[in-house]
Amino acid sequence: MYADRSEEAASGDALIAALASKQIRDANVIKKWLRLDEAKVSEPDAAVHRRYVEFFQKVWLPSYGALNSVDEAITTWTTK
């Protein structure tokens, strides 16, 4: 189930990071900010999910495989 007003993944990532880094007290703060108690709940859209899976398999996975060595190189530069 998802809130109808859900934001993009980046916003969710930022909220998770804020929680993990203890910048906010607990998940109830996020729930209050997003007014999730008031949100209408919807089920995932099967057609959108199928398009995402197709994109993931045809675009993201091959790109990740090709760029994984670049990602690993950058990671080693930034962790030294």
The model's pLDDT over 7-60, given as tens digits with 9 standing for 90+, comes to: 556 677 788 888 889 888 888 888 888 887 777 767 788 999 999 999 989 988
Which residues are CB-neighbours of 6 under 8 A, at least 6 positions away?
12
User: What is the domain partition of the chain in residue ranges?
Assistant: 1-43, 45-80
Nearest of 40, 52, 53 to residue 6 by alpha carbon: 40
What's the confidence (pLDDT) of residue 53?
92
Which residues are CB-neighbours of 4 under 8 A, at least 6 positions away?
39, 40, 41, 42
Cα dist. 8→14, 64, 65 in Å?
10, 21, 25
Question: How many angstroms separate the CA atoms of 22 and 33, rounded?
Answer: 16
Rounded to two decimals, the pTM is: 0.38
